Structure 1
Amino acid sequence: MIAVLSPAKTLDYESPIPDLAPTRPRFAKEAQTLAAAASHLTQKKLSELMQISPALAKLNADRFRNFADAPERPAIFGFDGDVYTGFDVKTLEEEALPFAQDHLRLLSGLYGMLRPLDLMRPYRLEMGTRWAPRHKKLTDWWGDRIGKALAEDVAADGERVVLNLASQEYWAGVAGYLPADVRVVAIDFRDGDRFVSFHAKKARGMMARWMVEHRITDIDAMRGFDSDGYAFDAAASSDDQWRFSR
């Protein structure tokens, strides 16, 4: 079983991290190509494309221009948004990281797909961005590459199951490109009957953390997820769309 998460807009390149053996991203060259192309975008254009403030546009324009010389950090320690608050890698036992490396994938607009210990440089480029070199949008530029890479990892894992903890925006980079015999189970987190985005994002990270902590490889065992008061709602679930409520 391979679980997939979305990335985060917020990054942490300051906190101390363990002494690890990092890995190289599968799509490092593609990331360099995208960063080089994005370095030619003006701050105004970046602000419009990403719907961000002038200050954030300047920050990201500088990141793209200086991408080759930027510091690198294992992705699971670099992302710092709501999902990664839920995952809370800082308190994860170091012995669990090899399992995470094998069974967790982080989707990315710039890097396509990352393993937790793959080195990444600071960036912001969302999968839903309506820009890409010689294409109208980023998902078109990536085409089937992310889906094929995920399919390779699923095949190597042997279970042929994907636990989809990503947002719709990022799953769009994978959807339609996996073999028909790969089972995808998507998770819907609710507070009662309500969908609360902040809570759902955090819960996705918590579920990935729970899978890693318990070294779970059987999708059916994931129904036992019970962090932060969540419980599997069988009545509101189907075979490939599970609901957890609290």
Structure 2
Amino acid sequence: MLMVVSPAKDLDANPISLQLATTMPALLAEANELANICKKLSPAELGSLMHISDKLAGLNAARFSQWHQDYAADEGKAALFMFNGDVYQGLDAASLSTTQLQYAQNHLRILSGLYGVLRPLDLMLPYRLEMGTRLANAAGGDLYAFWQEQITDNLNTQLAELHTDVLLNLASQEYFKAVKTKSLRARVITPVFKDFKNGQYKIISFFAKKARGLMARYIIEQQITDPKAITDFNLAGYHYSKDDSTADKPVFLRRQAE
């Protein structure tokens, strides 16, 4: 089983020490193409394009200005440790064992607006480029036009290498839209996480993101290969609800949000 998750806006670029060897992104040449487009934009243009503050626009303009494709290990950081948002708080990569990190390297992929697809131990530079950004490029008017075929081909290659036809979608809608599902040689399973609030169960973004990370961690810890086994997921108070689920959309409920 192959998993995909979204990246995070919040980054932690502080260096870490890893016992495992890092790798380089498979689609680095394509990332370089996008970075070179962004290099030509002023801070004001980046701010308008990404709908971010002047401060963030200046920071990311500086990042793109310094971008180069052949960056070294001491310039980058493993993706699983660079991203620091809600999903990654649930995943808690720092507490994974070396064996678990190696399993994640083989079974987990991070979708990215700049890098397309990242493995957990792929070295990346800090950046800001959301998948929904309407950045004009040679393939079209946005990043979906640029990435859809390449991301899908990359995932199909990994599915074949794992000898699996199941992809567990733990990514947001914004990012999973970058996958051309009709061309994906896999059954897609998308877990749904709901918390009880104001008398009903509903998806609460903050909790759902963290729950996706928790499920990714659960699968990494248990080394789950049978998708039926994910219904045993019970971390942080969630439980599987058979009555609310379908085969490809298992629903997990939690009575009290934490």
What TM-score, normalized by structure 1, do the two folds share?
Answer: 0.96
CA distance, structure 2, for counterparts of residue 178 and residue 157 of structure 1: 18
Q: Do structure 1's residue 162 and structure 2's residue 143 form an aligned pair?
A: no
Structure 2 residue corresponding to 1:233, chosen from 236, 241, 250: 241
RMSD over aligned Cα atoms: 1.3
Write the letter of the residue equivalent to 2:109.
R
Deviations 1:181-207 (A, max 9, x none): 511000111002121100000111110
CA contact (8 A) 2:159 2:165 kept: yes
In the other structure, the counterpart of 1:27 is: 27
1:155 Cα offset (Å): 1.6
- 1:147 and 1:177 in contact (8 A); partners too: no
User: Is 1:117–2:121 an aligned residue pair?
Assistant: yes
In 2, the alpha carbon distance for the partners of 1:42 and 1:243 equals 44
The partner residue of 1:243 within 248, 251, 255 is 251
Residue 178, structure 1, aligned to residue 183, structure 2: yes
Give the one of 127, 130, 136 matched to 2:131.
127
The answer to whether 1:208 aligns with 2:216 is: yes
Q: Residue 15 of structure 1: CA displacement?
A: 5.1
Is residue 90 from structure 1 mapped to residue 94 from structure 2 by the alignment?
Answer: yes
> What is the deviation of 1:132?
3.0
Counterpart-to-counterpart distance in 1, 2:43 and 2:12: 23
1:19, CA displacement in angstroms?
3.3
Write the distance in 1 (CA, Å) between the matches of 2:148 and 2:32: 17
Matched residue of 2:167: which SS? strand
- Provide the residue aligned with 1:141 in structure 2: 146
Q: Which moved more, 1:200-209 or 1:181-190?
A: 181-190
Does residue 59 of structure 2 align to residue 59 of structure 1? yes
Contact 1:232 1:242 in 2 (8 A): yes
Q: Distance in 1 between matches of 2:111 and 2:49?
A: 20
Q: Secondary structure at the match of 1:117?
A: coil
Aligned counterparts of 1:6 and 1:213: Cα–Cα separation in 2: 20
| Alpha-carbon offset, residue 141 of structure 1 | 1.3
Structure 2 match to 1:77:
81
The 10-residue stretch of structure 1 (117-126 or 134-143) with the greater mean CA deviation from structure 2: 134-143
Q: What secondary structure sits across from 1:67 in the alignment? A: coil
- C-alpha deviation, 1:113, in angstroms: 0.4
Query: Secondary structure of 1:140's match?
Result: helix
Structure 1 distance, partners of 2:247, 2:230, is 13
Moved more, 169-178 or 100-109: 169-178
TM-score w.r.t. structure 2 length? 0.91
SS of the residue corresponding to residue 184 of structure 1 reads strand
Unaligned stretches of 5+ residues in structure 2: none
Offset at residue 93 of structure 1 (A): 1.5
Contact 2:25 2:122 in 1 (8 A): yes
Instruction: Answer yes or no: is the 8 Å Cα contact 2:240–2:251 preserved in 1.
Output: yes
- For residues 60-94 of structure 1, the C-alpha deviation after alignment (integer angstroms, 9 at most, x for no partner) is 00111101268211110111111101100111112
Provide the rounded CA distance (Å) in 1 between the counterparts of 2:246 and 2:183. 20
> What does the per-residue CA deviation read over 1:13-60, in whole Å, with 9 as the maximum and x for residues that have no partner?
115332330011110111111111101111111111111100000000
Unaligned residue ranges in structure 1 (runs of 5+): none
Write the deviation string for residues 188-242 of structure 1: whole angstroms up to 9, x where unpaired. Answer: 1100212110000011111000100111111111111111001111111111111
AA in 1 matched with 2:114: L
Say which SS state the counterpart of residue 113 (structure 1) adopts.
strand
Shift of 1:95: 1.8
Deviation at 1:156, TM superposition (A): 1.6
